[in-house]
Amino acid sequence: MDWRLELGPAFAMSNVSYAAPAGDDAVLKVLLPGDDESDHDADALALWNGDGAVRLLRHDRKRGVLLLERARPGDDISKLPEDEATAIAVEVGLRLWRPATEPFRWIGDHVPRWLDNAERSPGERNELIPLARELYESLEVGRATLVHGDFHHHNILDGGDRGYVAIDSKAMLGEPEFDIPSFLWNPLPYRMRPDVTERRIAAFAAAGLDEERIRAWAVIRGAYLGAGTGGVPVLRALLD
């Protein structure tokens, strides 16, 4: 592979994968070995084709390298007023959640393992695991909708005339409600609050998502991802 790119310094939040500007209009993203959750980022970008996400320009699947459209001006929504940021997230999500099949993997084949892994790790979130397992068993988990997988403020950028667009998907098949929890406990260094959480849930429910499934997924995903300091009581209260 020789794309003859001149790279700038890596972006500050490229913690899991390497991402750096490649000129003014593109970004080079390199997936790190073992980051299998991002295996289908390029496939998702190809399906979205610029509608709700940055465009895929080139892809070397064997090496795990993607050349992406660079969102300009590229500011994420973390600094926007609360209600404005939530409204943008709803609008972007509604463009991303669309029917899909192979090659995407189904979340139902992975969530039980993620809960098992979390149970073996110390942390406040562990107390949610029994409840998370009970909730998960009660769900008939969807498998026909493409979900972003890491849907939060820092992954939604201002694309200027393009509108707001998503980046850094961990795309899988599932249901839209699966995507909402990570939005509930972001942006960094936000600490979850019951009133803000309820307003966010209400906004996605008003757009057609199932409120009870959002609440269930928040507990399930919080049990294996964590929801930040003080997040566990807020998550428990979602089911009261």
- What is the amino acid identity at position 75? D
Q: What's the mean pLDDT when you consider all of the chain?
A: 94
Residue 89 to residues 32, 73, 96, 235, Cα–Cα distance (Å): 27, 17, 10, 20
Burial class (CB in 10 A: 0-12, 13-18, 19+), 95: middle
pTM more than 0.85: yes
Residues found in the chain:
240
- What is the amino acid identity at position 188? L
Q: Cβ neighbours of residue 159 under 8 Å, at least 6 residues apart?
A: 54, 71, 72, 74, 165
pLDDT at 1: 58
SS3 97: coil
pLDDT < 50 positions in the chain: none
Q: Is the dihedral of CA 145, 148, 150, 151 positive or negative?
A: negative
Query: For 149, which DSSP code?
Result: S
Query: Which residue reads 């809960």 in tokens?
Result: 115
The terminus-to-terminus CA distance of the chain in angstroms comes to 55
SS3 176: helix
- pLDDT (tens digit per residue) in 94-152: 999 999 999 999 999 999 999 999 999 877 778 999 999 999 999 999 999 999 999 99
pLDDT at 37: 85
Q: 122 forms bridges with which residues in the sheet?
A: none
Query: Which residue reads 């465009």 in tokens?
Result: 55
Alpha-carbon span 96 to 70, nearest angstrom: 18
Alpha-carbon span 66 to 37, nearest angstrom: 15
pLDDT at 168: 95
In the chain, where does DSSP find H-type helix? 41-48, 82-96, 111-119, 129-138, 180-184, 194-206, 211-225, 231-237
Query: For 31, which DSSP code?
Result: P
Token output for 29: 């993203």
Q: Is the dihedral of CA 140, 204, 44, 99 positive or negative?
A: positive
Token output for 166: 């998503």
Domains and CATH numbers, the chain: 81-237 (3.90.1200.10)
Alpha-carbon span 39 to 189, nearest angstrom: 28
